């Protein structure tokens, strides 16, 4: 069976290996390729099985998946037309388009290989883009090896090179935390119905509130701290300058979505989400980041999700690119 390649945050590699072996057996053989890339070399599950385990939150620390089809030293790279043939030989028929995603274990993008594949595949009449196609060619480049992988987008977990989502900065951005919610919405294809009512717990300075407004939610932003002044002109943002507990004691609005990026222990944060349930419509969407975890972030995250599971169905849980040392959990209120 071909090797599977998986990407992670460099600090979370050992946690990802632990999760994979707990899910698929201790005899799964894994080797580290680089800081953020691992290779399952023996007793690997089918890539679809591994993708489902990641998508359902049973494996949290894997960000991107592909099936290895070739590897070689950088100094012995085949010419562009041979790279293209390596890819096309794995497909039952030539597709009209492919996504080619390249990245490195450093600051570079691996762009040389993108252009080589773009040119060679284009010469065969195949459109090449960086995302948005059903089949993804992954190319990882380091000073020791070049690895080529191929996978269906639906089993890749992310439509970005190695799961490294890059979001454009804008003058309207009020905090870096906006990227975390935006990445979750895009990665998990969250459906925020226009005209809904959103609750942002621990909102200050208002980054997640701003993202919810971009998806046409009327937002109640709960935090004793101030919101960015640029949000004050929006009449569909209601800043309630108090704690979550005090807000719940007085609130009579029912919400379609609740988000929580508060800086607190995983279990405490999950309990705040339980307190929110009486204020949610049935089936309301919830997005929460579970922070830190000390020496054992995997078990800490699981404790937080166990608490959430008392009142929510957990749909997804993953350490996304913009999370750093956090976990994003998506759930639905029962």
Neighbours of 63 (CB within 10 A): 27
Residues 6+ apart with CB under 8 A from 297: 12, 15, 325, 327
Q: Within a 10 A sphere around the Cβ of 26, how many other Cβ atoms? A: 7
> Is 180 assigned a catalytic role?
no
**If DSSP codes are grouped into helix, strand and coil, which group holds residue 77?**
coil
Q: Which two tokens stand for residue 166?
A: 């890059």
Residue (of 156, 95, 154) closest to 121 by Cα position:
95
Q: Report the first-to-last Cα separation within the chain, whole angstroms.
A: 41
Q: Which of 193, 197, 291, 310 is catalytic?
A: 291
Closest CA to 306 of 290, 295, 322, 321: 290
Contact criterion met (CB below 8 Å) for 133 and 97: yes
For residue 261, what is the DSSP state? -
Element housing 135 (H / E) = strand 135-141
Q: Strand order of the sheet with strand 312-318? A: 237-240, 218-222, 197-201, 255-260, 280-290, 327-333, 312-318
Contact (CB, 8 A) for 42 and 69: no
Nearest to 84 by CA among 140, 122, 132: 122
- Sequence length of the chain is 334
CA 249 distance to own-chain centroid: 34
Q: Could you tell me which of 285, 256, 290 has the C-alpha nearest to residue 272?
A: 290
- Rounded Cα–Cα distance for residues 93 and 106 (Å): 34
- Residues tagged active-site: 291
């Amino acid at each position: 069976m071909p090797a599977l390649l998986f990407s992670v945050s460099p600090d979370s590699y050992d946690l990802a290996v632990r999760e994979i072996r707990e899910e698929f057996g201790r005899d799964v053989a894994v080797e580290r390729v680089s800081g953020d890339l691992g290779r399952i070399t023996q007793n690997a599950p089918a890539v679809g099985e591994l993708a489902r385990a990641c998508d359902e939150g049973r494996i949290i620390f894997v960000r991107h998946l592909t099936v290895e089809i070739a590897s070689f030293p950088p100094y012995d790279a085949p010419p562009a037309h041979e790279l293209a043939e390596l890819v096309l030989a794995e497909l039952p028929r030539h597709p009209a388009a492919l996504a080619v995603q390249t990245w490195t274990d450093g600051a570079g993008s691996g762009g040389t290989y993108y252009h080589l594949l773009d040119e060679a595949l284009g010469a065969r009449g195949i459109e090449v883009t960086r995302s948005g196609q059903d089949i993804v060619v992954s190319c990882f480049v380091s000073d020791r090896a070049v690895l080529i992988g191929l996978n269906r987008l639906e089993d890749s977990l992310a439509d970005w090179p190695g799961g490294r989502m890059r979001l454009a900065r804008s003058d309207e951005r009020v905090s870096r935390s906006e990227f975390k919610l935006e990445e979750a919405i895009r990665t998990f294809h969250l459906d925020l119905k226009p005209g809904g009512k959103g609750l942002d717990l621990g909102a200050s300075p208002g980054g997640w509130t701003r993202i919810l407004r971009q998806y046409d939610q009327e937002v109640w932003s709960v935090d004793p701290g101030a919101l960015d002044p640029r949000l004050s002109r929006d009449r569909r943002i209601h800043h309630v300058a108090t704690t979550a507990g005090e807000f719940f004691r007085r609130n009579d609005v029912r919400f379609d979505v609740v988000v929580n990026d508060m800086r607190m222990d995983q279990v405490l944060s999950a309990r705040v989400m339980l307190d929110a349930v009486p204020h949610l419509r049935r089936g309301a969407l919830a997005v929460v980041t579970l922070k830190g975890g000390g020496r054992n972030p995997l078990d800490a995250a699981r404790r937080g999700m166990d608490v959430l599971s008392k009142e929510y169905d957990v749909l997804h849980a993953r350490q996304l690119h913009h999370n750093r040392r956090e976990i994003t959990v998506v759930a639905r209120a029962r």
